[in-house]
């Protein structure tokens, strides 16, 4: 058996190459990890929903007061095994943002973004309603961000390996989100895809915890958001 050691954000990872027994142990370890991760998702999402409910109510009132339309925006997204689900988020754009353009990626200084929406996107507070998606099991706290089916069709053609993102449950935050900002073009998405695939390959509870702590820094600093 040969083992090589590497590190990702100062966390040690062991890459093993060996017998079928090692593959079986790896499978058992991944199953245990998935069960623990789901337990943590439920526990943390329940706690955060209770703790942040006043903040979420305040955000809803500010959105309704600043622009016409509902405070919560519902959108179809993809999760594990390319299943579609309804994702919730605070509306950060005008209610008719895609009436003429259809599904498009957000860009720097996007005129469709409202004033309160710019703040929510910069601090990632627009994602708070997705704690409900985590609680129901459509998403996890950590994983590749869920993509829109319409955009996924284009990205699958442009980016080999894109489909591998749906090997795991979509996440509220992820390695790509704590490393780079929003992707406004295919080239930008190519970098995010590389981070997503690296996360899928190296995923473990220690990495998940580190990503969650880095997410707190992203929220407080507004780093990389549009």
Average pLDDT score, the chain? 81
Q: Does the CA dihedral 77-83-85-90 come out positive or negative?
A: negative
pLDDT at 19 over 70: no
Which candidate, 174, 210, 220, places its Cα nearest to that of 193? Answer: 174
> How much is the pLDDT for 28?
64
| Higher pLDDT, residue 113 or 128 | 128
Percent of the chain with pLDDT over 70: 77
Question: Do 132 and 88 touch, CB atoms closer than 8 A?
Answer: yes
| Higher pLDDT, residue 188 or 183 | 188
> How much is the pLDDT for 51?
96
Express each pLDDT in 95-114 by its tens digit. Answer: 766 655 555 555 555 678 88
Percent of the chain with pLDDT over 90: 44
> How much is the pLDDT for 183?
66
pTM above 0.85, yes or no: no
| Higher pLDDT, residue 179 or 75 | 75
Give the residue carrying structure tokens 């309603």.
129
| Alpha-helical regions (H) of 67-172 | 115-123, 130-136, 149-158
């Amino acid at each position: 058996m040969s083992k090589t050691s590497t590190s990702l954000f100062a966390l040690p990872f062991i890459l093993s190459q060996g017998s079928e027994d090692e593959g079986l142990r790896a499978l058992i370890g991944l199953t245990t990890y998935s069960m623990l991760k789901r337990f943590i998702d439920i526990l943390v999402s329940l706690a955060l929903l209770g703790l942040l409910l006043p903040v979420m109510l305040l955000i809803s009132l500010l959105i309704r007061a600043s622009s016409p339309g509902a405070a919560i925006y519902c959108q179809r997204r993809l999760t594990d095994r390319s299943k579609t689900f309804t994702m919730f988020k605070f509306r950060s754009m005008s209610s008719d943002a895609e009436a003429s353009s259809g599904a498009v990626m957000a860009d720097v200084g996007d005129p469709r973004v409202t004033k309160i929406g710019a703040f929510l996107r910069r601090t990632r507070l627009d994602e708070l309603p997705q704690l409900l998606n985590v609680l129901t099991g459509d998403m996890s706290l950590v994983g590749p961000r869920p993509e829109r089916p319409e955009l996924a069709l284009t990205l699958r053609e442009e980016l080999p390996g894109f489909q591998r993102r749906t090997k795991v449950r979509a996440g509220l935050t992820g390695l790509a989100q704590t490393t780079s900002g929003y992707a406004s073009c295919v080239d930008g998405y190519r970098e995010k895809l590389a981070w997503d695939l690296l996360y899928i390959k190296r995923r473990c509870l220690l990495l998940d915890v580190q990503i969650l702590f880095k997410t707190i820094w992203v929220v407080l600093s507004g780093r990389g958001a549009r």
